[in-house]
Amino acid sequence: MDKIYLYNTLIRKKELFIPIKKSKVSMYTCGPTVYWYQHIGNLRTMLLNDFLKRVLLHCGYKVKHVMNITDVDDKTIKASMNENISLKDLTTKYEEIFLIDLNSLNIITPNILVRATDSIKDMVKLIKTLQKKGYAYKTSDGIYFSILKFKNYGKLAILNKLKKTKARIISDNYDKSNVKDFALWKFYTENDGVVFWETEIGKGRPGWHIECSAMSMKYLGDNFDIHTGGTDLIFPHHTNEIAQSEATTNKKFVNYWIHGGFLTMKESKMSKSLGNIITLKELIQQTYSPMHFRYLCLQTHYRKALNFSWENLDAARSAHKKLERKIIQLKKEKHKGADKKKEYEKKFHEAIYDDLNFPRALQIIWKIIEDESFDSEKKLRFIEHLDSVLGLNIKEISEDNNIAIPPEVQKLIDSRERLRKAKLWAEADIIRERIKEFGYQIEDTPDGPQIEKLYRED
Ligand code: AMP
Ligand code: ZN
């Protein structure tokens, strides 16, 4: 098996990936909090999971991927109250939309999807153990984890030099300026409405952090290979997961922590609290295909910030469309030539196994496409094979995807060509926009204008 190097947040370095079991990988992902649509920042992190999983599968590993659905926490309860619908109805709706988003982005569904509300018993068990072992204590409003008791608290977030206090915080979300004992279990208050569980540790609900410790260890064991999420989860969420899990089992919780960079808008993190969010649905309404967004994410290394702009997305769409045209052309070609698979495969593997260098992998794909000396049929089979890692659905690309152009649109195309020939660019651009309103996109290529139907969701 080839060697894979991954950047592990725990040591802040790239290191050789060695799984616990020889050819099997256990992987856990912090899934969505289903109180609203996922924005494209959330989806960028979901694409990272997919890139990582596809690389591991390509390398020959079996992957057991578990993802949770956070369907109870401060945010979900608040949203269900505000919208005046039950927590179940709210979270089921957004969970469904999330799964559709994954599907349209060609993200392989996790092997196990687990809802927090289906794992309350496991959380209670974990909290009881923490109480028994002296890591947890009860107050009037909940059960808290004592960070002073856990010697290595904060290693992942590099908090070692920070002075730890005995103060407490009940909120699920807080920042590094607020390092405090955190809530494992929150006793019922009126603000929770009808959301509570009657349990041996009291009437209430779990804190967000304990949810992931319970669900990951339930399905993957006390020690597993990979845990993923966005960088914002390093503190407090993943820091607290480590503390809860390792205090319970006395074992190392996770071997490799993989964190994805943010998707930003005008350099600020995309987040609901800042109100700068875009959903996949909006991209589709603006006539982009989910594949254009996938392509955009492939173009930036997963640890770097991806500054989203419509111009960037346009560029990704153009590149993707060019790829489609090249593949359609390649499917028609029948020229004999060399089999250069071995040479390119080595380069492609070097890229993807070096901490998932997909921007480099894409460059290699383009080199292969442009290589005229490569036997055309062998080339096509080879690109389709590599696409199992990129997930761009190259096998499905065909001319049939391009629907017949209606006469009124054809007329506009012809007028635009006349204007372009007369070098009347501004007028030609106006017509291009009109064509877009009909749901068609014009791309000017060396072979003349190419027209394609834009992706639209009804
Ligand atoms: P949440 O639903 O807020 O728990 O987030 C789900 C996942 O999306 C987590 O792994 C977050 O770290 C990640 N995430 C949230 N905002 C962004 C962003 N702007 N860019 C990339 N990932 C994000
Ligand atoms: Zn989590």
DSSP codes, 68-105 = EEB-SSHHHHHHHHHHTS-HHHHHHHHHHHHHHHHHHT
With a 6 Å cutoff on the Cβ, whether 199 touches ligand 1 is no
Q: How much is the mean pLDDT over the chain?
A: 93
Q: What is the mean pLDDT of residues 304-327?
A: 96
Give the Å distance between the CA of 31 and the centre of ligand 2.
7
Cα separation of 139 and 168, whole Å?
10
Question: Whose alpha carbon is nearest atom 11 of ligand 1?
Answer: 230
Token pair in block for residue 407: 């006469």
With a 6 Å cutoff on the Cβ, whether 173 touches ligand 1 is no
Give the Å distance between the CA of 66 and the centre of ligand 2.
11
With a 6 Å cutoff on the Cβ, whether 91 touches ligand 1 is no
Contact 100, 174 (CB under 8 A): no
Where does 207-324 show beta strands of DSSP type E? 224-230, 254-260, 263-265, 268-269, 306-308
With a 6 Å cutoff on the Cβ, whether 44 touches ligand 1 is yes
Q: Give 271's pLDDT tier (boundaries 50, 70, 90).
A: very high
142, β-bridge pairs: 186
Kind and range of the H or E element at 343? helix 341-352
Where does 309-456 show beta strands of DSSP type E? 440-445, 448-453
With a 6 Å cutoff on the Cβ, whether 32 touches ligand 1 is yes
Q: Angle at the Cα of 96 (from 93 to 98), degrees rounded to 5?
A: 110
Tell the residue number behind the tokens 């190392």, with chain if given.
Answer: 252
Ligand 1: which of 173, 232, 270, 277 to mutate, judged by most atoms within 8 Å of the beta carbon? 232
441, β-bridge pairs: 452
With a 6 Å cutoff on the Cβ, whether 232 touches ligand 1 is yes
Contact 40, 278 (CB under 8 A): yes
Question: Whose alpha carbon is nearest atom 14 of ligand 1?
Answer: 42
Kind and range of the H or E element at 348? helix 341-352
Cα separation of 231 and 237, whole Å?
10
Tens of pLDDT, residue by residue over 106-133, are 999 999 999 999 999 999 999 999 999 9
With a 6 Å cutoff on the Cβ, whether 37 touches ligand 1 is no
Tens of pLDDT, residue by residue over 397-432, are 887 665 567 777 888 888 898 889 888 888 888 888
Q: Model pTM greater than 0.75?
A: yes
Q: Give 457's pLDDT tier (boundaries 50, 70, 90).
A: very low
Highest averaged pLDDT of the listed ranges 168-177, 376-385, 448-457: 376-385
pLDDT of residue 402: 55
Ligand 1: which of 28, 45, 301 to mutate, judged by most atoms within 8 Å of the beta carbon? 45
Proportion of the chain above pLDDT 70, given as a percent: 97
Q: What is the mean pLDDT of residues 323-335?
A: 94
pLDDT of residue 161: 65
* pLDDT reading at 456 higher than 70: no
With a 6 Å cutoff on the Cβ, whether 307 touches ligand 1 is no
With a 6 Å cutoff on the Cβ, whether 76 touches ligand 1 is no
Tens of pLDDT, residue by residue over 172-198, are 999 888 899 999 999 999 999 999 999
* pLDDT reading at 458 higher than 70: no
Q: Give 450's pLDDT tier (boundaries 50, 70, 90).
A: confident
Tens of pLDDT, residue by residue over 37-52, are 999 999 999 999 999 9
Tell the residue number behind the tokens 């992706």, with chain if given.
Answer: 455
Token pair in block for residue 309: 């702009």
Ion ligand 2: residues, CB within 5 A, are: 30, 212
Q: What is the mean pLDDT of residues 79-95?
A: 95
Peptide bond between residue 449 and the one before it cis (omega within 30 degrees of 0): no
* pLDDT reading at 202 higher than 50: yes
The alpha carbon of 7 is separated from its chain's Cα centroid by a whole number of angstroms, namely: 17
